[in-house]
Structure 1
Amino acid sequence: MGINGIPDQMKAIQIVELHKPYKLNTIPTPTSLSPHDLLVKVAVASLCHTDGMVTAGIIAPPSLPQTASHEGTGTIAATGSSVPASSFRVGDRVMCGIGLHFCGRCDECTGPRGDIQYCQQIDGNIGVTADGAFAEYVVADSRSCARLPDAVSFETAAPLACAGCTVWRGIVQAGLSEGQWVGIVGSGGGLGHLGVQFAKAKGLRVVGVDARDEGLELTKKNGADVVVDARKGKEEVVRQVQEATGGVGVDATVNVSDAKSAAALACAVTRLHGLVVQIAQPDEVSVPFVELVFRDIRIHGSLICSPQEAVDMLDAVAKHKVSVHTNPFNGLDKIEQLVELAHSGKMKGKGIIIVDPEQIKAEQKPGLELV
């Protein structure tokens, strides 16, 4: 056993070779913290679409083996020398940020917008180009982390670290006012089902578009005003959306689907001069020129929340009791079953691994209703 009860060794799910299954290894627990770092004892970690991009080498890790997952929650076990106690203390429950070791000098780090997540000089991103949260402990940068409200559970917050933060920013970037229409293409997936709820929490009317029975069911369950099956074809989808919106289409659309035709469909259901927020990351985003030139559809890319937006998102989750549909697996040794479900096309929402059940028990308090 190491300092302050932190073990010298820990279990971790690692990428040991590209295009190969994960391996559960025993590795040294990270003990060297940079000034802004937090050492987090992981409670829950989540599987994300990006994890598949990493194992496939689309986003190549600088070296292997590397611990997977960039969606983690847990309790702070140690803090770096420059982490102010007013921000984070040992024992705080946190959602881990993805960005690791921001430069602190560029316009993104120092500018008034607070968009530190766009820093181009960071050392890496946990679970992507640095060790991640599929482990008993993970190092995260305090400047991108967020404390959890008492009412938000580890299990809910883990998928929010990327999926939630990404689609929350997409809804924010849509720039709509209460009562306006937003479309969500891919509304029944891990990001989409959260986007439906976030949009409703902001008072928007929602058209959800999906191409799977499971996705359509989840879209309806989470409160979309209109649910449209993309398998009926572009013309029918557009007809149904225009019928629901007085013949004009939605005011803005958030696209979270990687399907080849998804971006074009997102444009087609959006009203003249409207905005499409592109979140999905296919190899190429393909849109007919008529949408851009004749209909003046604007396309805006969006990455992930700023630190303040992450705080705002967690507050909204607590206030509006946003439900994250999870598929929990108990223990790091269940990674094969989780990956199998994810690849089956039958998973609703997000797959998570409960790394430390004792932390789950500890957050249960009399009179406190967790989401």
Structure 2
Amino acid sequence: MATQTVTIPETMQACQMVEFNKPHQIRSIPAPQPSELRPFEVLIKVAVPSLCHSDLEYMKGTFPIALPVTASHEGTGTVVATGNDVTRFKPGDRVLAGQTFGRCGECDVCHGPEPNRHYCEKREPMMSVGGRNGAFQEYLVIDGREASPIPDKMSFVTAAPLACAGMTVWRAIKNAGLEPGEWLGIIGSGGGLGHLGIQFAKKVFGLKVVAVDARDEGLALSREAGADLVVDARQGKDAVAKEVKEATGKGVHAVLELSGHPSAAENGTAITRNHGRFVQVAIADKLPIPVLEMIFKDLHVLSSFMASQQETEAMLNAFVEHNIHLENNVFNGLAEIPKAVEMAQKAQYRGKACFIVDKEAVGLQPGDGRV
């Protein structure tokens, strides 16, 4: 029997993808009920969800998604009910939703190192993918084994974008495997992940950062985030490589590709020194890495996906401890999501966008002025 403290309505409002390449729709759908929770599940009242760039890819039909489905995999909220096996969370706790869901707990991956467990091949669909509803709704079922407590000094508004953007770029920096004082290149540095990555790299990991972007606002945000060198990708690969090598000596030790633009891999490999690492993070149909560049430089090509629960919590604590700044755009309510999505498609705001769904919870929490 689930533990609960409130009565959940039979229906709720949700912002859903109903057709590919069409605007999201606000719809009334059945609300999840505490009596339906499985032992490992947690039911939260959504406080603030956030819009991720990959949500735009989902809209295009890039991934096989069963429609209709509630969008967003960046969710925060207050626990209202827990399944029988959930011991870490209780009603009233503020949590950051994990994206992955329903790992089997029996395979080699699940019994392996904690950071790899979300790669379980038998896991259920992720939030907003494969028919599992995401965070653009009033109540949400999450996996208690993947969720994380939100630090007391962090608001829901700040936490929501970290549910994907923050933890994804954190793990990517870790996967780059650099030592303090080494150079990290970030392609797409002025976006939601990039401006966080610059700050994490410098303030937490002690790295020097080369920021590469192709938009005036992205270059400006990269400078504000504290990059050691900011380079305009519009000048072309050869000029970009020349500028980076003059500043770093031989090029960066590793590069994160956060852009997904067709030219990003070419620029990334061009600025990386011999024996360096190329870490692909952005979702793209293809990865056009110049093969000769890769071979003759002995580049190590890696990928990086989501962070584990432990890595996510390390990121959250570091965010507070090192006073990381989040460039955030705050909207009121689910009804503003279609407008924000259109703005994101036209690159009309910097950084991230989040939506206040539970005004009472946001108003009551410590630090809610931090955006």
Report if TM-score (shorter chain) is over 0.5.
yes
Q: CA deviation at 1:350?
A: 0.8
> Structure 2 CA distance, aligned partners of 1:176 and 1:329?
37
Residues 76 and 113 (structure 1 numbering): CA distance in 2 closer, same or farther, change over 3 Å?
Answer: closer
> Is 1:102 aligned to residue 114 of structure 2?
no
Secondary structure of 1:40 counterpart: strand
List aligned pairs for 1:1-371, cutoff 5 A.
4-31=6-33, 32-62=36-66, 64-84=67-87, 87-129=88-130, 130-201=132-203, 202-246=205-249, 248-364=250-366, 370=370
> Structure 2 CA distance, aligned partners of 1:363 and 1:101?
30
Secondary structure of 1:191 counterpart: helix
Q: CA deviation at 1:204?
A: 0.7
Residues 182 and 114 (structure 1 numbering): CA distance in 2 closer, same or farther, change over 3 Å?
Answer: closer
Matched residue type, 1:330: N
Say whether the 8 Å CA contact 2:155–2:369 is kept in structure 1: no
> Structure 2 CA distance, aligned partners of 1:191 and 1:112?
25
**Could you list the per-position Cα deviations for residues 220-251 of structure 1 after superposition, in whole angstroms to 9, with x for gaps in the alignment?**
001111100000111111111111112x0011
Residues 80 and 113 (structure 1 numbering): CA distance in 2 closer, same or farther, change over 3 Å?
Answer: closer
Contiguous gaps of at least 5 residues in structure 1: none
- List structure 1 segments (4+ residues) > 3 angstroms apart after TM superposition: 368-371
Q: CA deviation at 1:7?
A: 2.0
Say whether the 8 Å CA contact 1:40–1:74 is kept in structure 2: yes
Secondary structure of 2:310 counterpart: helix
Q: CA deviation at 1:114?
A: 3.6
Say whether the 8 Å CA contact 1:51–1:128 is kept in structure 2: no
Say whether the 8 Å CA contact 1:188–1:217 is kept in structure 2: yes
Say whether the 8 Å CA contact 1:188–1:216 is kept in structure 2: yes
TM-score by length of 1: 0.95
> Structure 2 CA distance, aligned partners of 1:184 and 1:155?
25
> Structure 1 CA distance, aligned partners of 2:114 and 2:11?
40
Structure 1, 164-173 or 18-27: larger mean CA deviation:
18-27
Matched residue type, 2:197: G
Matched residue type, 2:50: S
> Structure 2 CA distance, aligned partners of 1:35 and 1:80?
4
Say whether the 8 Å CA contact 2:152–2:366 is kept in structure 1: no
**Could you list the per-position Cα deviations for residues 167-204 of structure 1 after superposition, in whole angstroms to 9, with x for gaps in the alignment?**
11000101111111100000001111111111012111
> Structure 1 CA distance, aligned partners of 2:283 and 2:366?
37
Residues 361 and 3 (structure 1 numbering): CA distance in 2 closer, same or farther, change over 3 Å?
Answer: closer
Say whether the 8 Å CA contact 2:183–2:253 is kept in structure 1: yes
Say whether the 8 Å CA contact 1:99–1:144 is kept in structure 2: yes
Matched residue type, 1:352: C
> Structure 1 CA distance, aligned partners of 2:168 and 2:114?
17
Q: CA deviation at 1:3?
A: 7.2
Say whether the 8 Å CA contact 1:205–1:224 is kept in structure 2: yes
Matched residue type, 1:194: L
> Structure 2 CA distance, aligned partners of 1:50 and 1:254?
17
> Structure 1 CA distance, aligned partners of 2:319 and 2:231?
26
Contiguous gaps of at least 5 residues in structure 2: none
> How many corresponding residue pairs?
364
Secondary structure of 2:192 counterpart: coil
Q: CA deviation at 1:315?
A: 0.9
Identity of aligned residues (%): 48
**Could you list the per-position Cα deviations for residues 77-113 of structure 1 after superposition, in whole angstroms to 9, with x for gaps in the alignment?**
11111111xx111111111001111111112211134
TM-score by length of 2: 0.95
> Structure 2 CA distance, aligned partners of 1:114 and 1:204?
22
Residues 334 and 370 (structure 1 numbering): CA distance in 2 closer, same or farther, change over 3 Å?
Answer: closer
> Structure 1 CA distance, aligned partners of 2:155 and 2:109?
31
> Structure 1 CA distance, aligned partners of 2:369 and 2:9?
32
